[in-house]
Chain A
Amino acid sequence: MAIDKNEPSKLRWGELEEDDDLDFLLPPKEVIGPDENGIKKVIEYKFNEEGNKVKITTTTRVRKLAKARLSKRALERRNWEKFGDAVREDVGSRLTMVSTEEILLERPRAPGTKQEEMKVAGDSLAQLSKGGAVLMVCRTCGKKGDHWTSKCPYKDLAAPVETFVEKPAASEASVAAPGAGKGAYVPPSMRAGAERSTGSDMRRRNDENSVRVTNLSEDTREPDLHELFRPFGAVTRVYVAMDQKTGTSRGFGFVNFVNREDAQRAINKLNGYGYDNLILRVEWATPRTN
């Protein structure tokens, strides 16, 4: 514990000499120089007000801010006198301080994942046709059929890929930037390439194309389901039931397809598939389809 060393001990004239005499009882000051982390410890001993010997350990971190190689003129400037408001600069004025937080240049997302995502759709179809093969999906790099997430060789890259369905607007470096910026809101039915059928009909049919997936492993998330079902057709919504307390999947989820036929094919192909060491059960989400 560091006690403020600058606090002067109250000297009473009668005790002055005693203090001096007792100084030799104190061990000398120790300085444990900056180690490889830059930590420097200074251990001092002194008498506090009650006459007890106290040990004061001050731990400081010595950091070399930057290597400044200054030109001759710059060196001269370093010795200039302060002027203006800086003349009366007291040491206590905390005008300049080093930030306590480490600030990093935050990358927007793991580079390269976007492109890989697109390619993979084709690959997985080929894999599925093998029949009975296990789909190994790595969440970090998006490469299918190679390794699981925990064995990813690209572990150090940043956050996993976000689903297209869930958060297209939130992603900073959004590839699919909607048109010329987010100026006017364009309803989905009027956007380029939208299917023009009656609005509410579309939504209802969508909910009727809902597929329930059970026996999911506990680290399955929405993006995984999306990757898994994407080969069968356009997926509008994925949902994985989560346990709020542990943050893991409760073992089941729902996938909504745009087309009923795609949903049917997904059920046919994926029911009974091995995914992350568990056999999936894929069926219609009752009772809506009935």
Chain B
Amino acid sequence: MRPILMKGHERPLTFLKYNRDGDLLFSCAKDHTPTVWFADNGERLGTYRGHNGAVWTCDVSRDSTRLLTGSADQTVKLWNVQTGTQLYTFNFGSPARSVEFAIGDKLAVITTDPFMDLTSAIHVKRIAKDQTEQTEESLLVIKGPQGRINRAVWGPLNRTIISAGEDAVIRIWDSETGKLLRESDKESGHKKTITSLTKAADGSHFLSGSLDKSAKLWDTRTLTLIKTYGTERPVNAVAMSPLLDHVVLGGGQDASAVTTTDHRAGKFEAKFYDKILQEEIGGVKGHFGPINALAFNPDGKSFSSGGEDGYVRLHHFDPDYFNIKI
């Protein structure tokens, strides 16, 4: 396949998200400006100007009208997707690391980092349809986990919130009371910071990727470990194909941590694994730096990866990808 290279960001990518219809791709990077691209040919549609710090995360509503972005400037902003105007700003006491709209787009879960004497926290905010009714108040604030919470997502039917972070433990919280329902097992769970989390299309299972060079597949309701995928590199981003039983891991060692370097350019790859057999299917090379973000188009026919090199690579699969057998 011929990937489309999009160099709209001057700094490393942090997050990628497709909209529900699969025609728009939102990219967040450390350069303060989230960008939206057309997902078929990679043409840039626009940028959202307003943040003053690295943008760590974003999520788009199901009707693709609202965009939520979380940034290191301690704010989460709500944007109009089409015009790029800011609709609302939520202020926090520390950088926001992860945002996600709930099913129905009426609520959003936001995580904030530990900062000075503030511990990390998970906030649930109400998102009003009409921006004039938007308020700052949180419906729920959960404080508990030690260390940064890298990702928090909604469980099935918005009943639970699943969080994962630096302490390598995945926790499931009740979204109405804030009570801790389950924790992942220390023995079988991750050993190092969990960097990323992605849900299956039907929400029944989710995948977590960690710096301990593995990714694990969990059941959403019971938090039992289903599968483990091992790599040789710390995992920074994970994605699951909505069409086939494939799991993609992206990662790579940070340039500062490498002592012996292999000077082949473009050798950081996104590794494809069979979800059920746990075996590696192959890798897609091309990035010049560790891969920090991965996203699958909801139609399963293309995926994109964002790297430390500032490039977003959009890949449309060749027909024979769909016939791969182990």
Contacts and interface: CB of A to CB of B under 8 A. Distances in A.
Contacts of A107: 281-282
A192 interface: no
Contact of B21 (A65, A71, A103, A172): A71
Given A84-B46, A96-B42, A106 B4 contact: no
A173 B279 contact: yes
B280 interface: yes
Contacts of A70: 21, 23, 40
Interface in B307-326: 313, 315-316, 321, 324-326
A105 B321 contact: yes
A12 interface: no
Contact of A108 (B82, B280, B286): B280
B76 to A, nearest CB: 19
Contact of A96 (B44, B281, B321): B44
Given A65-B316, A78-B23, A84-B84, A105 B42 contact: no
Contacts of A106: 269, 282-285
Interface string A159-184: 00000000000001100010001000
Nearest to B85: A83
Interface in B238-290: 269, 272, 279-286
Size class of B's contact patch? 35 or more
A68 interface: yes
A83 B83 contact: yes
A66 B40 contact: yes
Contact of B315 (A84, A103, A111): A103
Interface string A68-107: 1011011001101011111101000011111101111111
B24 interface: yes
Nearest to A74: B23
A173 B23 contact: no
B131 to A, nearest CB: 18
A63 interface: yes
B281 A98 contact: no
Given A77-B64, A78-B23, A102-B1, A108 B282 contact: yes
Interface string B219-241: 00000000000101000000000
A103 B284 contact: yes
B6 interface: yes
B301 A99 contact: no
B43 interface: yes
A65 B44 contact: no
Give the interface centre of A73, A173, A177 by most chain B CB atoms within 10 Å.
A73
Given A65-B41, A83-B47, A86-B44, A105 B8 contact: no
Contact of B272 (A73, A80, A95, A105): A105
Contacts of B21: 70-71, 73-74
A111 B326 contact: yes
Contact of B44 (A95, A111, A181): A95
Contacts of A94: 7
B45 interface: yes
B278 to A, nearest CB: 11
Interchain residue pairs A-B with the least CB separation, the first 9: A84-B47, A83-B46, A74-B23, A83-B84, A105-B282, A96-B42, A85-B47, A68-B40, A84-B46
9 contacts: A70-B23, A86-B47, A95-B44, A96-B4, A99-B4, A101-B2, A105-B283, A107-B282, A173-B280
Interface of B: 1-8, 21-24, 33, 35, 37-38, 40-49, 63-64, 82-84, 213, 230, 232, 269, 272, 279-286, 301-302, 313, 315-316, 321, 324-326
Given A106-B283, A106-B285, 8 more contacts: A66-B302, A80-B45, A96-B43, A99-B2, A103-B315, A104-B284, A107-B282, A181-B230
